[in-house]
Chains A and B, each alone.
Chain A
Amino acid sequence: MSQTNFNEQSFPKGPITTVQGRCMCLKGDDIDTDRIIPARFLKCVSFDFLGDKVFIDDRFEGKGNHPFDQDINKGASILLVNKNFGCGSSREHAPQALMRWGIRAIIGESFAEIFYGNCLSLGVTCATLPAKEINSLMNATKSNPSQKFNLSLLTKILKGKENTWNINIEKATYEMLVSGRWDIANTLLSEGSKIKSIKQKLPYLNNFKNI
């Protein structure tokens, strides 16, 4: 089977039970959202082009050697990280940039809270593993970068060519992802009739006119 081209991948939709694809490693603790996407990209009218801009300043410094520039990582869908990934400013542009680059799941030691929540709202799975196992997973990836992994949310098992890892996913996150309720706009919209009835009850929308 041919590799999925990340440009053609569709964005997460509906219930999410598995993530498949290659892994890529990004080592280091406390990687903040400003590094993921620098502040100057906040002044843009669409998220569309953010995929190319992910880690843009780090990549510039890395002169082609940054993980997001290495050919072997093109098309990877699972990102492996260390501690406190996504700390700093709450910008949603950071998970947007990763998602638009092609990342569908992030596995790390720990995540910054707001970043974690922003990922969930895009249907990007954040899972954790203890430091030791992250290391073994990173090593397995490095020794055979082209191997395909299968991350099953239902069994909470990540399966590589030779090994498997038991990953952790928070209960509420798990429930939201596999039920499709992570897609909060849809969930909110499904209450259409209740929304209408609140609208018909609020004094300032009925008894006296505001706008």
Chain B
Amino acid sequence: MLSRKTLYDKVWDLHTVGNLPGGSTQLFIGLHLIHEVTSPQAFSALEEKDFKVNSPERTVATVDHIVPTKSQERPFKDSLAEEMLKTLEKNCKKHGIKLFQIGSGNQGIVHVIAPEAGLTQPGMTVACGDSHTSTHGAFGAIAFGIGTSQVRDVLASQTVAMKKLKVKRLWFKGELNKGVFAKDLILHVIKILGVKGGVGFAYEFAGPAIQKLSMEERMTICNMAIEGGARCGYINPDETTFSYLKHRPYSPQGKEWELAKTWWEGLSSDKDAEFDSEVIFDASQIEPTVTWGITPGQAIGISEKIPNPQELIDSDVDIAEQAYKYMRFNPGEPINGVPIDVCFIGSCTNGRLSDLRIAAQIVKDQKVAQGVKAFVVPGSEKVSIEAEKEGLDNIFRSAGFEWRKPGCSMCLAMNPDKLEGDQICASSSNRNFKGRQGSSNGRTLLMSPAMVAAAAINGHVSDVRKNFNKSE
């Protein structure tokens, strides 16, 4: 009989330990990633109950949220940050957990380092106390964020209680146009389906436009599945996936590589798999997309105007009113041309090497507009090292950008990088919530790293497609 399963079904079944009262499944976790912010309470809870770590060899730690990006000398100036890192170091040592430490060449944002080390692989379940764990789904893994007590549960048992999601396939025909990127695609999806469109679902991103994307672009897309309400997003593994993984430090080698690849090839959703729901998009219709409000769903194409309440569905009007007020934008105004104070390139959405390469291409031989503060924060030490090898740091520096050390930085300001007052920031990160970037009236416009670079040069939001045409 022909199987009609999705990748999600297959991976779920393989990891199911049993059913729990209340309709949850006890699910085995293949890779548990931890960081300094959500793990300490979980470790204390573990100790309160006298539990041991079940599978320290399946657990990997790093430090990213609280690290300063100017100088990473220890002890950190912020004593609370220092205490958080010390606690992580102590817990990892005590329980025999690998820690990708600052200066090791492996440190960085948790969702950047695990893929680049080859830790994240197709067919795994990946959990981390961080909502953007959906990123790892780009490899055909089932990856989701968990809360602190679930971190404790995974530490204790290597399993977690989870309800199975439905699967919604988002099919992309066509191809992205020049100057339009993965970030635009996912902002467009959230704009159309809304921030709650994926609640209760895993998103399967598929179709010719997705197949053409590199692994780094795929990670950008899955990273923001959660911003559309989908706890998981995934892409079926293919040759692009396999060639990315080949020769990574934690990838299988030699004979084992062949075994792995054969297994990975069988994981994709079956040809006539049944999806609970499906939406079709035309990738060629997507233009550079920018958020204008206080949720990632409040996004518009660069040529569009900030919507009037009359154009919105009823349930969106309330939050739109809040957004006009907070952002101090008027309905009907174009987004193109909005002056910018700060430009941030980085985060687990867009802090990878290809992101920095594209941004560097835009800023090369240009200057950051007067009065704009612009900075680049590589997503990991590896990204930083590679970028410096290629001379990207010099391109950015001579254009007037600051070149920082890896960390989450101004994606969420749990470290010294913060907006001040009501500054407007063009940001390659993933959340534009009120106060997200560290100032209670700071304003965030989400966009692709290329668009951030263009905004830095022009001093205002602008259509990066023009820069691409110029450079040809």
Contact = CB atoms under 8 A, between A and B. Distances in A.
A1 interface: no
Interface residues of A, number: 40
B13 to A, nearest CB: 11
Contacts, number: 121
A184 B152 CA distance: 10
B166 interface: no
A142 interface: no
Interface in A30-64: 42-48
A154 interface: no
A195 B49 contact: no
Interface in A106-157: 118, 121-122
A43 B157 CA distance: 26
A188 B256 contact: no
Nearest to A39: B435
Interface string B232-245: 00000000000000
Given A203-B123, A204-B121, A191 B17 contact: yes
A184 B57 contact: no
B108 to A, nearest CB: 18
Given A43-B80, A191-B17, A198-B15, A211 B60 contact: yes
Contact of A90 (B57, B66, B147): B147
A96 to B, nearest CB: 8
Contacts of A69: none
B389 to A, nearest CB: 27
Interface in A156-205: 172, 175-176, 181, 184-189, 191-192, 194-195, 198-199, 201-205
A207 interface: yes
B206 interface: no
B61 interface: no
Of residues A45, A118, A172, A194, which shows the largest number of chain B Cβ atoms within 10 Å of its Cβ?
Answer: A45
A189 to B, nearest CB: 5
A148 B425 CA distance: 55
Contact of A202 (B14, B40, B66, B161): B14
B296 to A, nearest CB: 17
Interface string B241-285: 000000000101000110110010000000000000000000000
A44 B41 CA distance: 8
A44 B18 CA distance: 35
B22 interface: yes
Contacts of A198: 15-17, 28
B156 A185 contact: yes
Nearest to A183: B49
Given A185-B49, A189-B156, A211-B57, A202 B256 contact: no
A199 B28 contact: yes
A187 B20 contact: yes
Contacts of B20: 187
Contacts of A210: 30-31, 119, 121, 124, 250, 252
Contacts of B37: 42-43
Nearest to A207: B259
A202 B15 contact: yes
B21 interface: yes
Nearest to B160: A188
Contacts of B26: 188, 191
Contacts of B45: 47
What bracket does the count of chain B residues touching chain A fall in?
35 or more
Contacts of A43: 37, 66, 80, 84, 414
A29 interface: no
Contacts of A92: 147-149
Given A92-B149, A181-B21, A202 B121 contact: no
Contacts of A42: 37
B354 interface: no
Given A181-B21, A185-B156, A188-B26, A209 B149 contact: no
Nearest to B49: A185
Contacts of A46: 40-41, 44
B123 A204 contact: yes
Interface string B122-135: 01100000000000
Contacts of A208: 252, 256-257, 259-260
A208 B261 CA distance: 10
A191 B24 CA distance: 15
B51 interface: yes
A172 B259 contact: no
B380 to A, nearest CB: 18
Contacts of A189: 51, 156-157
Contact of B28 (A11, A185, A195): A195
Nearest to B256: A208
A90 B119 CA distance: 29
Contact of B119 (A184, A191, A202, A211): A211
Interface of B: 14-18, 20-22, 26, 28, 30-31, 37, 40-41, 44-45, 48-49, 51, 54-55, 57-58, 60, 66, 80, 83-84, 87, 98, 119, 121, 123-124, 147-149, 152-153, 156-161, 250, 252, 256-257, 259-260, 263, 414
22 contacts: A43-B66, A44-B40, A45-B84, A47-B41, A92-B148, A172-B21, A184-B149, A185-B152, A185-B156, A186-B49, A187-B20, A189-B51, A191-B26, A194-B17, A195-B157, A202-B14, A202-B30, A204-B263, A207-B259, A210-B119, A210-B121, A211-B98
> Which 8 pairs show the lowest CB-CB distances between chains A and B?
A208-B256, A45-B40, A208-B252, A188-B157, A208-B260, A172-B22, A45-B87, A198-B28
Given A92-B149, A172-B21, A211-B250, 4 more contacts: A185-B49, A203-B259, A204-B124, A211-B98
